[in-house]
Chains A and B, each alone.
Chain A
């Protein structure tokens, strides 16, 4: 039975590429189609960016934790930061009039659109991403 893998990285976008590549390598090895792989990559980039910018406020002394499991059936990824957290329900829908021309605020919407499940912890500093291999 496969076990979750855990990686702790510096709060740095370049450092975040390592775990992303590891996960996508496992995704490829498990035979996911290109659309699923694209979705996972997109969601990973969104979650890492949120952790780096909004959670950890670009603070180089903070960390990002990645916990993931890739099987032939599903991909589960948890990404958490050292920030104070937030309430995802308070993030406006970026597709609504008045928000479409805002430069920011599309990451959560994209994660939800491309994955099968996106859940935030009660504290708001950890997101759990799930993609099924359909």
Chain B
């Protein structure tokens, strides 16, 4: 789903393909989410995050800058990853959620589980 700029009253409902890409950076695993994480794709997010979080002491940075939609199953995937990472003495941090996704994180109080950063470097360097 692509959204107009803030204040733009036009609507565009074209969903964008959902991709999850994984890379390593300075000891962290960076999981970059792009597109629309709709009900069809949320289970894939859960499976991939849980798998990554199953490593010993994982530091996982979820880059949400390219994410344009997420629903509750996708949020549940983040939580499942959080639980697995915590079990393995690790952590998941979130980076650059767009405003409407940040609002959902606040509304659901998931900001109590996840630290949210405005850029990748800060998220990695945070002790």
A104 to B83, CA, bound (A): 13
Task: List A residues at the B interface (Cβ < 8 Å).
Answer: 13-14, 16-17, 21, 24-25, 27-28, 31-35, 37-38, 41-42, 45-46, 48-49, 52, 94-95, 100-104, 106-107, 109-110, 113
Set of chain B residues within 8 Å of A52, measured between Cβ atoms:
39
Q: Is A49 a contact partner of B73 (Cβ separation < 8 A)?
A: yes
Q: CB-CB < 8 A to A25: which residues of B?
A: 13
Question: Given A21-B13, A110-B104: A100 and B112 within 8 A (CB)?
Answer: yes
The stretch of B4-12, B23-31, B52-60, B116-124 in contact with A is B4-12
Q: Within residues 15 to 56 of chain B, which ones have a CB less than 8 A from any CB in chain A?
A: 38-40, 46
Question: Are B11 and A28 interface neighbours, CB within 8 A?
Answer: yes
Give 30 pairs: A residue, B residue, CB < 8 Å, sorted on A. A13-B39, A16-B39, A24-B13, A27-B13, A28-B11, A33-B11, A34-B4, A34-B8, A37-B11, A38-B69, A41-B13, A41-B69, A45-B38, A46-B71, A48-B39, A94-B108, A95-B108, A100-B109, A101-B82, A103-B77, A103-B79, A104-B72, A104-B76, A106-B72, A106-B108, A107-B71, A110-B104, A110-B107, A110-B108, A113-B107
In Å, the complex CA distance between A110 and B77 comes to: 16
**B83 nearest CB neighbor, chain A only:** A101
Contact of A102 among B12, B13, B79 (CB under 8 A): B79
Residues of B within 8 A of A (CB): 1, 3-4, 8-13, 38-40, 46, 69, 71-73, 75-77, 79-80, 82-83, 100, 104, 107-110, 112-113
Given contacts A14-B40, A42-B71, contact A103 B76 (CB under 8 A): yes
Alpha-carbon distance A42/B46, docked complex (angstroms) = 19
**Smallest distance from the beta carbon of B53 to chain A beta carbons, Å?**
13
Q: Which residues of chain A are within 8 angstroms of B72 by Cβ–Cβ distance? A: 46, 49, 104, 106-107, 110
- Which residue on B lies nearest to A99, using beta carbons? B109
Best-buried of A52, A106, A109 by chain B (most CB within 10 Å): A106
Smallest beta-carbon distance A37→chain B, Å = 5
The residues of A that contact B75 with a CB separation of less than 8 Å are 106
Find the residue from A14, A16, A42 having the highest chain B CB count within 10 A: A42
